[in-house]
Chains A and B, each alone.
Chain A
Amino acid sequence: DTAVSQTPKYLVTQMGNDKSIKCEQNLGHDTMYWYKQDSKKFLKIMFSYNNKELIINETVPNRFSPKSPDKAHLNLHINSLELGDSAVYFCASSYRDTDFGGNTIYFGEGSWLTVV
């Protein structure tokens, strides 16, 4: 029973391509997130959605576009991939964080993106 699942786990693609990473959670959570982990393992939030509504949109190039068709899914689409986009992208979810900041965030296994 995978709680937060994301696909693909590994993705190697050429510069300039467009790619998507899909994420689904079966925890009944209202809030979903995308985090980026760089080569130095530093984690930074990219986006957060509460029940399909965009809440957090950090300084991320507009080549990155999240899409939430329903509260159990949050996909990440990346246009015109660049070498610097190579990183690990984590999807995560929690109960509604605008109600209570102490809710635990649960992470997926990550998607390792390599742009060549």
Chain B
Amino acid sequence: AQSVAQPEDQVNVAEGNPLTVKCTYSVSGNPYLFWYVQYPNRGLQFLLKYITGDNLVKGSYGFEAEFNKSQTSFHLKKPSALVSDSALYFCAVRDMTDSGSARQLTFGSGTQLTVLP
């Protein structure tokens, strides 16, 4: 079974400061990892994903995430936060070794990011 943990329900950061949204995962094999963002009353928008290769993945809107296999983490980062980054962020995982109906994307519980002006 696969699972994702986002240990912080809420993250507050001042505009211009770096931000980190934490994510840890558990899979039997190797993971595919994703980050999505949800603005109020909107759908989920894809930010970035890790499939294989370079552990540092760059995505949309200046976000990046670092895959750390030893710590089973995939934290989302941005060097300088904007007020417009305020939203709900979801981490998600799929196990590479799963197949068929077992191959489903499992989401974390979400982290509300608030960037203060």
**Which residues of A are at the interface with B, using a C-beta cutoff of 8 A?**
4, 40-45, 48, 55-57, 90, 92, 97-98, 101-102, 104-110, 112
Contacts of B105 in A (CB 8 A): 45, 105
5 residue pairs A–B, Cβ–Cβ below 8 Å: A92-B44, A101-B94, A101-B95, A101-B98, A104-B34
Size bracket, chain B contacts = 20 to 34
User: Does any Cβ of A come within 8 Å of B109's Cβ?
Assistant: yes
Is there an interface contact between A98 and B103, defined as CB atoms closer than 8 Å?
yes
Within 8 Å of chain A (Cβ to Cβ): is B19?
Answer: no
Q: Which of B's residues lie within 8 Å of A, judged by CB?
A: 32, 34, 36, 38, 41-46, 49, 51, 88, 90, 94-96, 98-101, 103-105, 107, 109-110
Bound-complex Cα distance A102 to B105 (A): 10
Tell me if A104 and B49 are in contact (CB < 8 A). yes
Residue of A nearest to B102 (CB): A56
In the complex, residue of chain B having the shortest beta-carbon distance to the beta carbon of A112: B41
**Complex CA–CA separation, A112 to B40 (angstroms):** 12
Task: Report the nearest A residue to B109, measured CB to CB.
Answer: A42
Chain A residues in 8 Å Cβ range of B43:
4, 90, 107-110
Residues of B within 8 A of A43 (CB): 44, 90, 107, 110
**Distance, CA A40 to CA B43, complexed state (A):** 15
Rounded to whole angstroms, the CA-CA distance of A19 and B105 in the bound complex is: 27
Name the residue among A44, A98, A102 with the largest chain B CB count within 10 angstroms.
A102
In the complex, the answer to whether A101 meets B32 with C-beta atoms within 8 Å is yes
Question: How far apart sit A41 and B89, CA to CA, in the bound complex (Å)?
Answer: 11
Task: For the complex, give the distance between the alpha carbons of A40 and B46 in Å.
Answer: 20
Assess the A55–B101 pair: CB atoms within 8 A. yes
Closest Cβ of chain A to B61, distance in Å, is 16
Query: Which residues of the partner chain B approach A42 to less than 8 Å between Cβ atoms?
Result: 107, 109-110
- The CA of A108 and the CA of B41, in the complex, are separated in Å by 11
Q: Which of chain A's residues have a CB closer than 8 A to the CB of B88?
A: 41
Please judge, given known A-B contacts A41-B88, A41-B110, whether A104 and B46 are in contact too, CB under 8 Å.
yes
Output the residue of B42, B43, B46, B104 with the most chain A CB within 10 A. B43
